[in-house]
Structure 1
């Protein structure tokens, strides 16, 4: 998604000074790409190509007479430069995202004036498209920013990379997220709220990829007493993720703590996330019936991830009344575009309930699920797919293939 990402490792360290020159660089490079002009066409009669290259990279302090001439060429008002930047807009968007204040992000998005380009407005667009799950426009926004990334300041680079990584995490693509997170390792930004969000990304990525040294490191960074202002509900989720890792071995020890974590109002932005992690932990303790009944009792049927847990609990209970009820709910559910990872799992479980031939389920797993699963991963679903596939390979005496799949 980010081209030539190695350039960003340099940018993070040497672009801190705020001046109008970086705005000129962003606008000129954006307009040239937008109009599909070559460097020669843009520079002709105004300045040399090498001068324009340096200007676009924000590598020189340009003479404003050249800037004005270039602006005239592309019919832009020089006096509007910087006038459409929302005051403290990006920092407000970061804070709103951290505190799940989606109305504030929407308000900031509605304030955007696109009469002349500035990267800060596009970063706000990125936050808005994230909360809406508008991935097509999000990718276009990121592509626009990517074309002018050489001009960006360190703080803007941090936000840009956060947005890209957040997209990969939200869509369960943890390997690309991990690749980008390496460029943010041991780098802090002036905005502490941005630092917290990036720490969370490290933590979530390490959890899903089972990189436990990093997982424990960022757990302590996020749970430290020095994090004054870090939202308490987010700390609860961080703690629940740690309990989930420990649950298989220490379930009896953690169940009391789990029950002691207070329930939020269903109106709270974190309500469903906290319940989801509690249910995942309960599954580790084989509380199949409790999970099944909790989902129905709390009417958690508006999201595919809860229906996936329902059908899994029904499968483990292995009784017709539970399987039939869960199947009926799953078959009538209308999936959203961003729920494909849950849809793949639910379809797999429904086929398992219905098919009389094990071979049909394995063929579905081999040709429909595993190819999808190479890019999109979920710790619970992956484990179930792995169990079924390795069991099949072993039963058919394909031990080398089973071992290779296990260590993939």
Structure 2
């Protein structure tokens, strides 16, 4: 059992035993040296392990021996609690710049925080910060740390931990695992803190879009929009609205999608959300290509290519879409094909290498293009959960085999497009 001490002001608590241990270690004192003249060593040991709550006069004497005043310590604890609260609020409102600033501030107090009752929330939201910041190495390390800590989590903290794991697996591309976590959490929806509902609905909608389950995705995206509006969370509202726009596009509701994109492009610009503005423009080009406005899409993608940081996943995605638009408008894509190859050499970048090879074969009308689509692209996309891409290749193969009057194969790929593309297997 962990004991807390109450300060002079009613209701303020602090895990005092760990604080005493922190300052004793910091001052290079043994338990014997600190306890001398104040209490027994066993008494101090039980206090430091939070197994015993000593008299307030004993606590003051122990802290004073190390030059620490209890009231000032309470003030410091309150300030850290407020700062961690701000860190959490920034994560909920997608204020990454402020999160980065507060993170640096909190890291300077890391050793002290480890000795307080604030440590669980601090470590949980560091995990969220690393995911937001797309820091794969630190996110993986934090995931392992939280696994060791989870026995000490309260019920709400366990829920948050599960939710952040869903976000982590989504970040590393394991969408099936991410979806499994979300489905488990659906059962406990009533226990979700109200301010977290929008985040949960948004992530659910996002994963359903990736699974091509658009009607259900729209349901959760609309719930996310309502929640973010209720809590005046305007940046996350833009994210949820973008999911709806993507959803409308892929359901061929182009008028609704275009109307929403018009609002999003304006509002992401006005709020200086540069990254989100670029993502909005990128997704808008999908709608333009569906309308066969390839020239307009080309202009936007060329602008994005110049604006986006080169060594990123998003840059490769922009370059891939740019190649498609160049092919459709009769532009020579050779230089960009070579660039995509050159920046997609890592094992985890096979998706982009496959597309680079596809565009190269398509550009030079190579006779093995359809064989490549069938044996390489279709199999890779299908085996790795790229549902939208799998369906697109299936549609291309269905058209090819229909022209060849190979009806059995044409029927297989057409059936895959019609029936099998929209569910996670």
- Please classify the TM superposition score into its range, dividing by the shorter chain length: 0.5 to 0.7
Look up the match of 1:251: 254
Look up the match of 2:269: 265
Look up the match of 2:395: 387
Deviates more, 1:216-225 or 1:363-372: 363-372
8 Å CA contact retained: 1:283, 1:291: yes
Structure whose alpha-carbon radius of gyration is higher: 2
- After superposition, give the CA deviation of every residue in 1:227-268 in whole Å (9 maximum; x if it has no partner): 333433433443343233333533256535544544243942
- After superposition, give the CA deviation of every residue in 1:88-112 in whole Å (9 maximum; x if it has no partner): 5554334223333223222333223
8 Å CA contact retained: 1:202, 1:215: yes
Look up the match of 1:182: 183
Partners of 1:102 and 1:338 in 2: CA distance: 29
8 Å CA contact retained: 1:307, 1:330: yes
Which of 306, 318, 321 is the equivalent residue of 2:318? 306
Q: 1:286 aligns to what SS in structure 2?
A: coil
The answer to whether residue 300 in structure 2 is matched with residue 294 in structure 1 is yes
How far apart are residue 70 of structure 1 and its match?
10
Partners of 1:254 and 1:171 in 2: CA distance: 29
How far apart are residue 290 of structure 1 and its match?
1.0
**Which stretches in structure 1 are left out of the alignment for 5+ residues?**
1-17, 25-62, 72-77
Look up the match of 1:92: 86
What RMSD, in angstroms, separates the aligned Cα atoms of the two structures? Answer: 4.4
Q: 1:120 aligns to what SS in structure 2?
A: helix
Distance change >3 Å, CA 372–CA 126, structure 1 → 2: farther
8 Å CA contact retained: 1:202, 1:218: yes
Look up the match of 2:361: 352
8 Å CA contact retained: 2:214, 2:247: no
Which of 360, 364, 374 is the equivalent residue of 2:383? 374
Partners of 2:236 and 2:99 in 1: CA distance: 19
Q: 2:252 aligns to what SS in structure 1?
A: helix
Q: 1:222 aligns to what SS in structure 2?
A: helix
Q: 2:230 aligns to what SS in structure 1?
A: coil
Return the TM-score normalized by structure 2: 0.64
How far apart are residue 64 of structure 1 and its match?
9.6
What is the count of residue pairs matched by the alignment? 343
Partners of 2:351 and 2:234 in 1: CA distance: 28
Partners of 2:14 and 2:394 in 1: CA distance: 55
Return the TM-score normalized by structure 1: 0.67
How far apart are residue 218 of structure 1 and its match?
1.6
Q: 1:133 aligns to what SS in structure 2?
A: coil
Deviates more, 1:137-146 or 1:111-120: 111-120
